[in-house]
Structure 1
Amino acid sequence: MKGRGEGASFADAAVRMAGQAGVLFGWGPKRFWRATPAELAALAAVIAGDTDEPLGPRELAAMQERDPDG
């Protein structure tokens, strides 16, 4: 497996990211492969501290109402 950079293949990067998602988020392979890039990016932003402010109760309630299936 090659490291990061131009020589790394998609497969190499996916294996590395799947391992990171398992360690950081407790995701198994099925959860990782079913996740969207936006879901993974959102969790990574929280871990990195790249979010401006935490989600408030009103925003959470609105999201739950828009997408009741989670």
Structure 2
Amino acid sequence: IHDLQVHLARCKEEVIQSITNIETESVIIIMFQHYIRKHLERELIEENQSLRNELLDHKDINEVMLGT
């Protein structure tokens, strides 16, 4: 019975360690996804601003050419 208790204790420890590893990996994945999302949001905002600036530049050129 003692051997079974020792074996059970080891198995329990392995399960706890596996759960801890899974939780740690999950947190890392969530943080990485958050970083990627923020990075993509910044890129989209920059691209959007760049396109707005281009449109404004074209509008200004058209106004100058049309004399408005």
Same fold by TM-score, threshold 0.5 exceeded?
no
Bin the TM-score by the shorter chain: under 0.3
Q: Which has the higher contact order (CA 8 A, sep 6+)?
A: 1
Structure holding more helix per residue: 2
Q: Pick the structure with greater CA Rg.
A: 2
